[in-house]
Chain A
Amino acid sequence: MDSKVEATYNRALSAMALVGFISFLLLSIYRKPLSPVPFYGAVTFLSIVFIGYFFTGWIFPSSDKFLFILAGFLVELGLIMLCRINIELFKRQVAFFALGVGFFILSSILTRYFVRLELNPVYLWGITTALLLLPLLFGVEKGGARNWLAFGGFTFQPSELAKITFVFYLAGVVKQNKINHFPRLAAEILAAVGLLVLSRDLGGAMLFYLTALAVIFAATSRLDVTAAGLFAAGIMGVLSYNLFDHVRVRIEAWLNPWQDVPGRGYQIAQSLFAIAEGGYFGTGLGLGRPDFIPAVATDFIFSAFTEEFGFLGAAAVILMYFLLVYRGIRIALRLKDSYPALIALGHTVMFGMQIFTIIGGVIKLIPVTGVTLPFMSYGGSSMVMSFTSLGILNGLWLQAREGETDGETA
């Protein structure tokens, strides 16, 4: 590792530690009586970050630290907001983070050594649809979408795992740079998307669909298919606007939230009020009113963050997510074979679209769809699966580096 790069990482890590200590110390004196929980939480969190950082560095010296530190910082910002909103959620989120780091390391190793064992895409498709079908049959409803499974006191969102299997499936199907059975491919993708629509997870359906389009386009260079796909998406959008009541409500709330602020426009209006309140520098940690925002720990955490950290904080977060996407793309470009490159691309697109969808939604650039903001939103499934995706990217990166260093023969 280059010393100059290492030094940059170390500086970023110290900035991260400082932000953590300042914020969590502040939050320790936020509530009366004084509570040391946020501080302990911060120590635990930072320990996990450093352990994860050094452990991955130790087993894989050329591991992509960029991704890990960046994601860690976003988790930290999310934790700061969660700690301020609800201390119980905060404690659990720290545990989810630890689990996530574990999965990051695990999936790095698995990807590094086993990505070459290309599973038959048919099986992957089977797993994906099964995962999406399960909640429809046995699931419980949360926040309007029926995409949760409950085991005892513990709930799990299978669609988060399905994102990963779906990307592997896509890469497997189109890696030969051509589509053999286009009708079959279209039917398979639409079946997965359709299951999401049935469980009323429209944001998820959109993510799966657009990721599929992007991967197909990258592999085949077929502009006509992509354009037709986008056109079909438009038609489906119009259809669902006319068919489903909950879609219409969301779109109308987006077009004119001020018409019915106490009713349909409530969520988005509260989100916008919070963002407006922030100004450039924010109200200051603990001085905003996240209690006015509905679903603030999950979907609308970005609004609460913007209120207290301001436009400048929000812009920084958007740029960090952009860097994450950039890094994912860079990994995809480094990979020499099309299969791993498409996997890296698929995960990156899934991430990028999800980030764009939710941030665009809460600032009223596009209609709100109930997806979480990776790394920042509260939620075990989202946290663990985001880190798993990240681990897959890291594993692919390791593989790319491997190909470069032992290229004795060609």
Chain B
Amino acid sequence: MYELLAQILKFLLIGLIYYFLYNFLKLMVLDLSEEKNTSGDTGYYLRSDDGREYPLRPVTTIGRAGDSDIVINDPYLSSKHAMIFKKGRRMVIQDLKSTNGTFLNGKRIKRAVALREKDVITMGGRNFTFLRREARGLESGSDL
């Protein structure tokens, strides 16, 4: 009798063990896909006065120089003007000792400052709004 029971239940047990494993493998896949998302795209972007949008990567440099990530042709900008980067879950802006300075909501920044949504960044003569894309990737992933 016991033997019969054990023989039948072994299939159930193996099934349950794999169900458990499946859930954890799924978590691992979620982890990895999040990793991928964050390495490419942060889900944030800057919108310029003229309506152009610049997506932000984990590290984005802004300036006049051709090797900046966002190149803006404005004589009041320095060649390497500012940098926006991901720190933990936040995006942080830092001025790269530019001649005319970087302003956040009208205040000139000296150290690295964390950005909040709809913050207005002013560089040279231009205003940029810091916005978040309606994406799922970050919302679900980063909390893992």
Contact = CB atoms under 8 A, between A and B. Distances in A.
Direct contact of A and B (CB under 8 A): yes
B75 interface: no
B71 interface: no
Interface in A1-46: 1-2, 4-5, 8-9, 11-12, 15-16, 18-19, 22-23, 26, 29-30
B10 A309 contact: yes
A13 to B, nearest CB: 9
B112 A409 contact: yes
B27 A8 contact: yes
Contact of B143 (A1, A73, A310): A1
A283 B14 CA distance: 12
Given A284-B6, A403-B88, A409-B112, A15 B24 contact: no
A305 to B, nearest CB: 11
Nearest to A310: B14
Contacts of A313: 13-14, 17
Contacts of B9: 22, 26, 284-285
Interface of A: 1-2, 4-5, 8-9, 11-12, 15-16, 18-19, 22-23, 26, 29-30, 66, 69-70, 73, 77, 281-287, 308-310, 312-313, 316, 319-320, 323, 326, 330, 403-405, 407-410
Interface residues of B, number: 38
18 contacts: A5-B140, A5-B144, A8-B27, A9-B23, A12-B24, A15-B16, A15-B23, A22-B9, A26-B6, A284-B9, A284-B10, A309-B14, A310-B14, A316-B17, A319-B25, A404-B89, A410-B94, A410-B112
Contact of B21 (A9, A282, A286, A316): A316
Contacts of B16: 15, 18-19, 22
Given A19-B13, A312-B14, A287 B88 contact: no
Given A5-B144, A18-B16, A323-B28, A407 B87 contact: yes
